[in-house]
Amino acid sequence: MNLKGCLRRTVFDEALANMTRTYKKPKVNDNRTQLEHDAIDKLSHVKLSSEQAQLKTEVLQFVRDQLKRWESSKDGPAMLVIQGDAGTGKSVVLNSLFNELQRLACPSDAARDELTGTKNYLVVNHPEMLKLYHRISKNFPYIAKSSLERPTSLINKLEKSKSIADVIVVDEAHLLSTSKDAFKRFYGENHLQSLMALGKVLVVVYDDKQSLRMGSYWEESTNDGSSLAHFYEQLPEGHKQWRYLKQQFRVVAEPDVLEWIEQLSTKGKILPFPKSTTNGTSTFDLKIWEDCGAMYSKLKELNEEYGQCRMLATYDFPYRLDGKDYFVTCGDNFKLRWDRYMPKSILPWSERPSSIDEVGSVYTVQGFDLNYAGVILGRSVGYDASNDCIKLMPEFYDDHAGFTKKKNIKNADQVKLKIIMNSINVLMTRGVKGLYLYAYDPELRQRLLRCSGSA
């Protein structure tokens, strides 16, 4: 195992080892340094809720029990699934859990038990999230960069060395590939299936409402793509647990606001506007905009005050990875470039100061918090007047790579609709303090304005 940080404890060790303590943000000398701490603070330096702390304790006990049971590959893997909607703190629990796993794995730093000397990995199939984890590894000695991997890289490394990991922690498991991808050097049939063959214990964090591509499509049944439940059910009873996180932490809003956002972003239903918003008692700023340019102007003002305020849009405007700038245009007074592809940037997109002048996609913002999110429902999102709900039009969705047909996708048209709906859910659940909405489709825009009492 990598013994980075096993020889001594520091203030940072203590902060991460016990996440229920209050963390005091370090003093910084300039705005850039401050920005570089923001995402780390949101993921790591928080107080776990009682639900989260209890779950962490139970996961650690599950891991210990399963490692004690495991004697050879014939025993098969164990799996614990943590399921929760966007904003329920899944990654926060995972970061705290993984740091504790790595602390306990250090022979010189903990009482010897089943975790002592274990070789453990955290994997995430999301380049922006991996950047964040790599930054955490530089500040907190128990999390070594070598223990953080994309799933394909870890699979190829373990297969080449013919070794088995003790614990594999999977963040954003709904992004795991569900089909072969030779272009990305993945030659298996399914990321999860391969990881199960290479790890003794898997801890898997999952939300099926965040699958965004046919090549990594997960659903509850096995009609299309893959089903996590299908792999879970193959394990013996004593080798598995399925847990849920329910408390919403990101979107700090009243229940009627949360319900309005959930119904619109998961089912396309337009409920009456939340009473807590119309009567002024809501602490969450929910607003429908008639003018996209005006929405952007307000968002820039809020960014000056709070930071972390960004424009987002469904993937309904042309964008290519050819080094050129592509633009999102709405109405007569809004034209802003899409987020620039910067794989070598240390900061994730939402943390770069320049990204206030860009529009983010689901791929750059998934997994991250914003203070305010200005969301454009683009050309693929219209209005069904007969049923008074959102109407999805996949022919206008421009993420052609996301719609690339795979052999395990049987009902491609239905999957396209689900992918668009999932993308709406991801975008609409980013804001901590507020959500601003603008609909590209005039009919939908007017319907939402009437709903909010603004028309």
Longest Cα pair distance anywhere in the chain, in angstroms?
67
Q: Is 410 buried (19+), middle (13-18) or exposed (0-12) by CB count in 10 A?
A: exposed
Q: Give the chain's domains with CATH numbers.
A: 11-245 (3.40.50.300), 255-452 (3.40.50)
pLDDT in tens, 217-255: 998 776 788 899 999 999 999 999 999 887 665 667 889
Cα 437 to Cα 53, 274, 429, distances in angstroms: 35, 15, 12
Report residue 447 CA to chain centroid gap.
30
- b vs e for 156-188, b when ≥16 Cβ sit within 10 Å of the residue's Cβ? bebeeeeebbbbbbbbbbbbbbbbbbeeeebeb
Q: Which residues pair with 288 in a beta bridge?
A: 437
pLDDT in tens, 278-334: 998 999 999 999 999 999 999 999 999 999 999 999 999 999 888 899 999 998 999
E strands present in 134-176: 148-149, 165-171
Inter-residue contact 369 to 250 (CB < 8 Å)? yes
Residue type, 76: G
Is residue 32 over pLDDT 50?
A: no
Q: Is 387 buried (19+), middle (13-18) or exposed (0-12) by CB count in 10 A?
A: exposed
Which residues 6+ apart lie within 8 Å of 184 measured at CB?
Answer: 152, 177
415: helix, strand or coil = helix
pLDDT in tens, 74-131: 778 999 999 887 766 777 888 889 989 999 998 775 567 889 999 999 999 988 888 8
User: Model-level pTM?
Assistant: 0.84
* Interatomic CA distance for residues 385 and 58, integer angstroms: 48
* Interatomic CA distance for residues 211 and 90, integer angstroms: 16
pLDDT in tens, 146-182: 999 999 999 999 999 999 999 999 999 999 999 887 7
